[in-house]
Structure 1
């Protein structure tokens, strides 16, 4: 009996030593530098289990032993804390470091750029084409309500969530601008400022001109003159669903729509695009000028005029430039 007991004790000691050695090896493997020679990207989909995550990591070459990764995650209590997303795994990252990344939720950020002057319909088309986003946009957002900018998004972020971010940003900009507005503006509300800003955005792509263009429209509003701006006519014809890719015809300038500022007094009923921050501030802080007219000058900017006679000379000069370019 003593012999059997001694043998059993010896076996237990041997097993204990072997187990301790195995645990030590597993701990060292979990914290040792990984096999990746260059950074790799791993995507965890919503609902992926620890087993699926470890398999994806192994397939990407980020870890060499999925079992050790799973055991380490369970030992640390992180088995159920993995967050879905797209992750960049650094070269030579240990399993412990990789687990930290997957639990942190620090997913790869992608940039989605919305330029100034797009209509809401055009913004939706752009977001629908962005494959990194998910979900549907239930309806076209209100015109002018989206702040143009470059937005950082994680793979899988919903389009609706990004729309909400853009709307919140535009509302903040508009309220900030309205609070800082010139007090003698012929504008009754932030919405009217947004409408004017959208016209400014579509009329010039030259940053230094925005406040001067704004002054022309503000001066016209003060005098009760019609705004007579082509982009509003285009919007009335297209409802914001793309541009014309050509000049306006006389028949179109004479076509009645709620946005035809050659035929209506004052501002149109809605914005005609989504203006950026600078155009919104230009609308509420226009330059102090006596200009009532402007026309393209051939250099990408505009020639401004105080009188109709001066404006007609500028128009004639622009027509000559157009003919010369055509020839």
Structure 2
């Protein structure tokens, strides 16, 4: 009888201990905060679980290397492996939070915005000065105007070439989508000419609402064989392909001999002069109606448009009069 009681007592104690152990393990893995402060940690490529545990323990992300190894090892049997990369472990992370983040590859993602109208040279400079990007740039792969301006996300160790490839692919995708929906306006003959003109519109327009109207002016000029006389093309020529031009454009600059100078040469320049955004591309595909051939800056940060040269001269006088009044 006593033996039976002892057996029952031991059995109950064993169950209680098991419950306590399971409960504590659950608490330790799923509830107990391990990370006391936000921690950024880089997990190298092709390292063992024990080495990952050592790194996390040394950086105070976890409190127990052994428990980390056991839990992560159990998950590896289910096909869940720990991935390398740069991670942010937030304050209050549990052991399971840490392991899940490593299994899902939830690495830190950085944001890089390429402004509309940037030239390739400006994009290269931006990439070369951006932290966490690696590798060199093969500029021979990317023609001017082939990179789509947008916001891109990348992780630590992403190569500059990978980002440039994304930009190039996105530009191609937009062109394919647009060309399947809309035909080119007269007198443009290819998507490349579309991008050339869109790049000029991009650099010329200060107001988005004016882009289709500026596009119409240039299309009208191309149709009748009139020089575009676009200042941004001269700036591109003078700035050696897109770097910042020191100072304002001067009258003598308009005589600068270059195939990009649309004061001296009729038609489009040989290449785009920047990487246009979607709004400028669409403006060329959907220009306003009209016969306008001229535009000049006005005092409202926009432009005044004219159909005849006489109208244009009036707009120029009004602009200069406004400048004089402001300066006076």
Deviates more, 1:83-92 or 1:275-284: 83-92
Contact 1:178–1:284 (CA<8 Å) still a contact in 2?
no
Contact 1:174–1:194 (CA<8 Å) still a contact in 2?
no
Partner in structure 1 of residue 203 of structure 2: 202
1:58-207 correspondence runs (5 A): 58-77=57-76, 81-139=81-139, 141-182=142-183, 184-207=185-208
Q: What CA RMSD, in Å, does the superposition of the two structures yield over aligned residues?
A: 2.7
Partner in structure 2 of residue 265 of structure 1: 266
TM-score, scaled relative to structure 2: 0.86
Structure 1 position 43 matched with structure 2 position 14: no
For residues 49 and 215 of structure 1, what CA distance do their matches in structure 2 show?
63
Contact 1:182–1:285 (CA<8 Å) still a contact in 2?
no
Contact 2:34–2:95 (CA<8 Å) still a contact in 1?
no
Partner in structure 2 of residue 238 of structure 1: 239
**1:234 positional shift:** 1.1
Deviates more, 1:267-276 or 1:182-191: 182-191
Contact 1:31–1:96 (CA<8 Å) still a contact in 2?
yes
Where 2:56 maps in the other structure, the secondary structure is helix
Partner in structure 2 of residue 309 of structure 1: 310
Contact 1:220–1:227 (CA<8 Å) still a contact in 2?
yes
**1:56 positional shift:** 3.3
For residues 136 and 80 of structure 2, what CA distance do their matches in structure 1 show?
29
**1:28 positional shift:** 5.2
* 1:243/1:223 CA distance change after superposition, 3 Å: same
TM-score, scaled relative to structure 1: 0.86
For residues 35 and 72 of structure 1, what CA distance do their matches in structure 2 show?
14
Runs of at least 4 residues of structure 1 off by over 6 A? 19-23
**1:87 positional shift:** 2.2
Contact 2:75–2:81 (CA<8 Å) still a contact in 1?
no
Where 2:139 maps in the other structure, the secondary structure is coil
Q: Deviations over 1:173-225 (max 9, x none)?
A: 12222333355521000000000000000001311111011010011111111
In structure 1, stretches of 5+ residues that fail to align are 1-15
Deviates more, 1:33-42 or 1:159-168: 33-42
Q: Deviations over 1:221-246 (max 9, x none)?
A: 11111100010011112232412142
For residues 302 and 212 of structure 2, what CA distance do their matches in structure 1 show?
13
In structure 2, stretches of 5+ residues that fail to align are 1-13
